[in-house]
Structure 1
Amino acid sequence: MRTSRPFAVSIAAVGLVLALSACGSGTAEPAADSSAGSSGSSDAAASGEQFPIEVEHAFGTTTIESKPERVATVNWANHEVPLALGVVPVGMAAANFGDDDGNGVLPWVEDELAELGAETPVLFDETDSIDFEAVADTDPDVILAAYSGLTQQDYDTLSEIAPVIAFPETAWGTDWRDMIRLNSQGMGMESEGDALIEDLEGQIAATAAEHPELEGTSAMFLTHVDTADLSTVNFYTGHDTRTMFFEDLGMTVAKSVQQVTDETDQFSGTVSAEQVDQFDDVEVIVTYGDQSLLDTLEADPLLSQMPAVENGAIVAMDGTGPLGTAANPTPLALPYVLEDYADLLAEAAAASE
């Protein structure tokens, strides 16, 4: 796995050097300090943002009256957007899977905090649900949750604390671009967010170009497989960001998966193993597991009939480790694991031929 420093927004973007330098002194302070997460009024001037700003999402429209000085985030990975833009949140959700050392912070986030000279922000324990009291204690000016599973009740409760940026349409269905776009808008840093998207797209395109065997390869992403019960095939639909990412790399979502996607707004689907032949068009399977999982799939009388299983065209990742976690693409995770993930996909694509 690559361990180089994660992405930082290209300094060639218009006005971005000024924006990041304006963030510098504030982000180096401890997250609990009032200066943590403060991006300063000069950021707004550098970005050319005019306030108030209105951001539309699934629960309506959120108005940001003035430049947020204290940014909090809830749910998975939303904190990576301000960090990638040089702003340290005053509070963020603790990582509850993929955390290799148990400190609640994923390695690419640790690297970015170190790069910014910042301490770890307040970590919200979301094991059961959002800790609204802890969020309120950080006294945020805005709460970012563009990639999330907020309910209407969650949104209403958070909105009593500060303006909230929620997901655009479907819970847990926000792709990495919209995650960046909406969260950066909520910070008054839309132009910097656009530059971040452009830079990441360039990295992805360059990596895909190194693996031409991925072009047009059809894929599906199985959810965590229960080896004790293989009576069903559980998978992520095209509404899930893991599946969406296949297309970024030049692959395609298998037509069989897309058909289910067109019939639901859910991010996952299930079919009986007796109907597994509908996935005959799947050339590569990605899932979470190890060699024992692959052995189990190959030994199963039904699932072994899937071409991807028969050909050994499977990418099995540790669902509790960083690489498996980053298969769900987020702003800082993308450059951290991109090449490793593409290598695994390419190996599986070659096996499918």
Structure 2
Amino acid sequence: MHARTRPGTRAPHVRVLALAATAALALAACTADPEDPATPGPDPTGDATFPVTIDHALGQAVVPERPERVVTLGWGSHDTVLALGVVPVGIPADSWAGDPETGLLPWTQAAIDELGGEQPTTYTDLPEVNVEQIAGLAPDLILAPYSGISQEVYDQLATLAPTVAYPEQPWLLPWQDQTLLNGRALGMEDQAQELIDQTTGLIEQAAQDNPELAGTTFAYVYATPDGALAAYVEGDPRVDLLTSLGMELAPAIADLDTPEGTFYADLGTEGTDLLEDVDLLLTWYNDTEEQAAVEGLGTFQAIPAVERGTYLPLLDRQLGMAMTTTTALSVPWGLDTFVPQLLQALDQ
């Protein structure tokens, strides 16, 4: 949990919003045609765009020309790169919710299949980055804007290729900023903005179609069988997605003081009183055994939202990840499953 634990599986059914993912890929694949100036996309020669200089918290990345061998670290960047029509040579494996063999989440694999080309190498980047393994991929760009890489690791990576880290704090970067930063490094900032507009449009449409969500207070927490309790705060993508749908972070949680660069607040074993005015309580579990242990705690049962049933426990790991990373690929994949679950929980 405190090491950026990964939440989320989805019920398999046809998704209308999946059409948006196809549209995003189609947009991304449209690089400029030198014979047709009206074709969207940057100059494929890169002369009009590069070099690109990006300052960030750990240094400066100078991308001299359009990259061809992109490696990503952390969450989300690989989805943006794919949505922009580029298949990375290296992608972090998700051992929590990804495919047991490839480590890839379904929307990521679908985008790779759509674009074609060689299957990316996958690797573990949490809790540590294997720099030698990354070096073996011969990258010409490393994207890690939504990650927790240290200065030491960054310095090693920067000797391999231009490396883009987080602008200010590890693990705290709105998905919109992450998308733009990745797009800029690829020389495709305009296309990245179009992806943001498309994804924002899907979320706004979901909010309009489900006005019952407007003004509903919520808390998104993580509880453990030993009674520990933490709440995600503003700036965490889980919280930001819910507020984008018109919901409101419970005032008692919103008013908490959290250390700079922290995406959650420890409530402790006695912090359930901060959840008294929550309309909807959300949490995630690793498995049904953990769920049973937490729900068996008297302190957890006494939370008003749990007592009345306006409580959404997420056991679907893939859906949890889709609604945590918030990318141009994950939102179309999961939003039309997630929103009905919110409504069903509120209807108890």
Q: TM-score, normalised by structure 1?
A: 0.83
Q: Deviations over 1:256-298 (max 9, x none)?
A: 2222255543112212232321222222111113777666555
Q: Which residue of 2 aligns with 1:346?
A: 343
Output aligned runs, 1:138-149, within 5 Å: 138-149=137-148
Distance 2:251 2:322 in 1: 24
**Pair 304,57 (structure 1): closer, same or farther in 2 beyond 3 Å:** same
Output aligned runs, 1:131-170, within 5 Å: 131-170=130-169
Q: Establish whether residue 280 from structure 1 lines up as the match of residue 276 from structure 2.
A: yes
Unpaired runs of at least 5, structure 1: 23-38
Let me know the Cα RMSD of the aligned residues: 2.7
**Pair 296,43 (structure 1): closer, same or farther in 2 beyond 3 Å:** farther
Q: Which amino acid aligns with 1:304?
A: Q
Q: Deviations over 1:296-351 (max 9, x none)?
A: 555533233322112211111126x2112222123311110011111111222333
Of residues 144-153 and 62-71 in structure 1, the stretch that sits farther from structure 2 once superposed is 62-71
Distance 2:269 2:105 in 1: 35
Of residues 74-83 and 97-106 in structure 1, the stretch that sits farther from structure 2 once superposed is 97-106
Distance 1:11 1:60 in 2: 31
Q: Deviations over 1:221-280 (max 9, x none)?
A: 112x322x11x2122222321122111111112222222255543112212232321222
Q: For the Cα contact (< 8 Å) 1:218–1:284, is it kept in 2?
A: yes
- Residue of 231, 234, 241 corresponding to 1:235: 231
Q: For the Cα contact (< 8 Å) 1:9–1:196, is it kept in 2?
A: no
Q: Which amino acid aligns with 1:274?
A: E
Q: Establish whether residue 334 from structure 1 lines up as the match of residue 336 from structure 2.
A: no
Distance 1:332 1:177 in 2: 13
Q: For the Cα contact (< 8 Å) 1:146–1:174, is it kept in 2?
A: yes
Q: Which residue of 2 aligns with 1:104?
A: 103
Q: Which residue of 1 aligns with 2:31?
A: 19
Q: Secondary structure at the match of 2:255?
A: helix
Q: Which residue of 2 aligns with 1:255?
A: 251
Q: TM-score, normalised by structure 2?
A: 0.84
**Pair 12,58 (structure 1): closer, same or farther in 2 beyond 3 Å:** same
Distance 2:139 2:131 in 1: 12
Q: For the Cα contact (< 8 Å) 1:219–1:254, is it kept in 2?
A: yes
Unpaired runs of at least 5, structure 2: 1-10, 35-40
Distance 2:204 2:345 in 1: 19
Distance 2:33 2:309 in 1: 49
Q: Which residue of 2 aligns with 1:209?
A: 208
Q: Deviations over 1:16-67 (max 9, x none)?
A: 6741779xxxxxxxxxxxxxxxx9961747xxx5222222322243222222
**Pair 318,95 (structure 1): closer, same or farther in 2 beyond 3 Å:** same
Q: Which residue of 2 aligns with 1:307?
A: 304
Q: For the Cα contact (< 8 Å) 1:273–1:303, is it kept in 2?
A: no
Q: Which residue of 2 aligns with 1:7?
A: 21
Distance 1:110 1:190 in 2: 24
Q: For the Cα contact (< 8 Å) 2:24–2:83, is it kept in 1?
A: no
Q: Which residue of 1 aligns with 2:44?
A: 42
Number of positions where the alignment pairs a residue of Structure 1 with one of Structure 2: 326
Q: Secondary structure at the match of 1:92?
A: strand
Q: Which amino acid aligns with 1:88?
A: V
